[in-house]
Amino acid sequence: MDLGALFGSYDNFLSFTIGGLVFGAIYALVALGYTMVYGVLQLINFAHSEVFMFGTFAVAWVFVALHGTSSAQWSLGRSIPILLVALVAAMCLSAVVALLLERIAYRPLIKKNAPKLIALISAIGASFALSEGMGLRDKFAQWFGLDHKLANYVSPGKARDVYSNPVSILPHHLFSIGGYSVTDVDLTIIVAAVLMMVVLDQLVLRTRFGRGIRAVAQDPESAALMGVNSTRVVQLTFLLGGLMAGAAATLYMVKIGTTKQDAGFTLGVKAFTAAVMGGIGNLRGALLGGLLLGVMESWGAAVFGDQWRDVTAFVLLVLILLVRPSGILGEALGKARA
């Protein structure tokens, strides 16, 4: 244990905190998908991590299409046009995957009023199929004889390996807090994530669609009696979750730059942890949980060593659940102010 690494200097402390906030913001955006689906359907949308993973590939493909395979060592400002296209593409692809997921893996079970656990198994199956399917993209392209035409997209023969894609954005010093230099990349990620969370929160709180979501989350039967189309609401929930996962995927690619077919798994588990930590079913809880988890695991990595990053996150979760058994904010989606 090395407390000095974290608290030894003010600069170190700040750098770990801000580094944690960046990842926390991404966790928070992915956590939204888990928390909203849980709020409405009371089921763990295990395949949401793959929705995110598809988003990261959309970003990679947009960079290949618009820039080529060589690494674009650009500053953030120069890559903004491509990034915007990538953002739209990622949000669209993620949303489509999320909607398909709802249609194929969940709706038949919801219709049958099946036990929640079996929906979890269906989700696990979907998660396997989606991530393995992405790993097989070269084989699928080969079926149509397209694997060489699309070589830059499907990397024939090594699709299961790390997809080194050309997104590498050089962070630039923006301003300093203490001795820590805040870069434009860090700031963009945090601001963009928080902004999107606020927009979504307002959407759910103020619009007609949002009221429908909250009504179904509160009491599906009464909502149905009041004329809320619950299938439509569930679809909308998945759509919003998918859009947010796509946004998270874009921010993730800005920071990390590479992706792989199993990139979603660990991040998904973390995001779900964040959702539970903040109080599952609670949108603001997801933001708080995500940021807290990001910061805490960054501190944990600093104090105990990087290999204990994930362990810190889970120990923290257990401790929080022991003190507050329903998460920090612990308020369900339906119980939010009407």
Partner 1 sequence: MTTPSLMVPPVRQSPLHKVGEWWDVRVDRYNAQPTYLKAIWAVLAMVFVYALPLLRLPIITTNQIDFGGVMFDCATFALVALGLNIVIGYAGLLDLGYIGFYATGAYVTGVLTSYHWQWPYFLSLPLAIIVTMITGVILGAPTLRVRGDYLAIVTLGFGEIIQKIANNVSWLGASAGIKNIAHPPSFGKQPNPPFEQGGAFAIPHLQWNGLVPSLDTTHETHVLVFGALDAIPYYWLILTVLILVIIGDRLVKASRVGRAWEATREDEDAAELMGVNTFKYKLMAFALGAAIGGLSGSLYASGQGGYINPQAFMLIYSMLYVAAVIVGGSGNRWGAILGGVIVAYLPDRFRQLGDYRYFIFGLALMVLSIWRPQGLLPPRRARRARAAEAQIDALEEGDVEVTDV
- Closest separation in Å from C-beta 113 to partner 1: 5
Nearer to partner 1, 34 or 153 (CB): 34
The two structure tokens encoding residue 10: 């003010």
Under rule CB under 8 A, residue 144 binds partner 1: no
State how far the alpha carbon of 10 is from the alpha carbons of 16, 135, 296, in Å.
Answer: 10, 44, 17
The two structure tokens encoding residue 54: 């598809």
The two structure tokens encoding residue 109: 């079970």
Write the binding mask 22 to 41 for partner 1: x where contact by CB under 8 A, - elsewhere. ----------------x---
Phi, psi of 114 (to 5 degrees): -75, 160
State how far the alpha carbon of 147 is from the alpha carbons of 68, 154, 241, 268, in Å.
Answer: 17, 7, 32, 30
Under rule CB under 8 A, residue 335 binds partner 1: no
- Closest separation in Å from C-beta 39 to partner 1: 12
- Closest separation in Å from C-beta 265 to partner 1: 7
Q: Which residues of 213-229 are buried (b: 16+ CB within 10 A; e: fewer)?
A: bbbbbbebeebeeeebe
In this chain, which stretch among 58-66, 74-82, 216-224, 265-273 interacts with partner 1, using CB under 8 A?
265-273
Among positions 79-138, residues that touch partner 1 (CB under 8 A) are 104-105, 108-109, 111-122, 124-130, 132-133, 135-136
* Distance, CA of 57 to CA of 165 (rounded, Å): 9
In this chain, which stretch among 73-81, 82-90, 199-207, 308-316 interacts with partner 1, using CB under 8 A?
308-316
Under rule CB under 8 A, residue 221 binds partner 1: no
Q: Which of 317, 328, 329, 333 binds partner 1 (CB under 8 A)?
A: 317
Characterise 194 by phi-psi region: left (phi > 0), alpha (psi -120 to 50), beta (else): alpha
Under rule CB under 8 A, residue 208 binds partner 1: no
* Distance, CA of 237 to CA of 222 (rounded, Å): 18
Nearer to partner 1, 104 or 177 (CB): 104
Under rule CB under 8 A, residue 142 binds partner 1: no
Under rule CB under 8 A, residue 273 binds partner 1: yes
* Distance, CA of 193 to CA of 254 (rounded, Å): 13
Among positions 225-264, residues that touch partner 1 (CB under 8 A) are none
- Closest separation in Å from C-beta 198 to partner 1: 26
The two structure tokens encoding residue 208: 């007609």
Nearer to partner 1, 168 or 326 (CB): 326
Tokens 């973390």 belong to residue: 270
Residue 68: count of CB within 10 angstroms of its CB: 11
Under rule CB under 8 A, residue 162 binds partner 1: no
Phi, psi of 169 (to 5 degrees): -100, 125
- Closest separation in Å from C-beta 112 to partner 1: 5
* Distance, CA of 290 to CA of 276 (rounded, Å): 10
The footprint of partner 1 (CB under 8 A) covers 38, 42, 44, 46, 104-105, 108-109, 111-122, 124-130, 132-133, 135-136, 139, 160, 265, 269, 272-273, 276, 280, 307-308, 310-311, 313-315, 317-318, 321-322, 325-326
